[in-house]
Structure 1
Amino acid sequence: MDATTKLTAGGNGVLGCWLIAAPFVLGTPAIGRWNDVIVGTAVVLVTGYNYARAVRQRPESVTGAGIVAVLGLWLVVAPFALGFGGLALWNDVVSGTVVASFGSYNAYIAGSATPLRATAQ
Structure 2
Amino acid sequence: MSDTPTDTERDTRTDYNSLNTDAMQWVSALAALIGLYLVASPFVFEATDAAIWNDTLVGTAIFLTAGYNFYRLSKDRLASVGVASLAVLLGLWALVSPSIIEMGSDELATGTAISGLIVAALSAYNAYANRKADTPERTRARA
Take 1:62 and 1:78, find their aligned partners in 2: how far apart are those partners?
A: 24
- 1:83 is displaced (CA, Å) by 2.8
Aligned residue for 2:92? Answer: 73
Which consecutive residues of structure 2, in runs of 5 or more, have no partner in the other structure?
Answer: 1-19, 137-143
Take 2:21 and 2:71, find their aligned partners in 1: how far apart are those partners?
A: 14
Q: Does 1:97 align with 2:121?
A: no
Query: Equivalent residues in 2 for 1:19-98 (5 A)?
Result: 19-84=38-103, 85-98=105-118
Counterpart amino acid of 2:116?
A: G
Take 2:25 and 2:82, find their aligned partners in 1: how far apart are those partners?
A: 17
TM-score, normalised relative to structure 2 = 0.76
Q: Is the 2:34–2:115 contact (alpha carbons within 8 Å) kept by the matching residues of 1?
A: yes
Q: Is the 2:24–2:73 contact (alpha carbons within 8 Å) kept by the matching residues of 1?
A: no
- 1:115 is displaced (CA, Å) by 2.8
Aligned residues: 116
Aligned residues: CA RMSD: 1.3
Counterpart amino acid of 2:75?
A: R
Q: Is the 2:70–2:79 contact (alpha carbons within 8 Å) kept by the matching residues of 1?
A: yes
- 1:3 is displaced (CA, Å) by 3.8
C-alpha distance after superposition, 1:55-89 (max 9, x if no partner): 11122100011111111110111011113351111
Rg comparison, structure with higher value: 2
Aligned residue for 2:134? Answer: 114
C-alpha distance after superposition, 1:73-119 (max 9, x if no partner): 10111011113351111011111111111011101111111134xxx
Counterpart amino acid of 1:95?
A: S
Which consecutive residues of structure 1, in runs of 5 or more, have no partner in the other structure?
Answer: 117-121
Q: Does 1:16 align with 2:9?
A: no
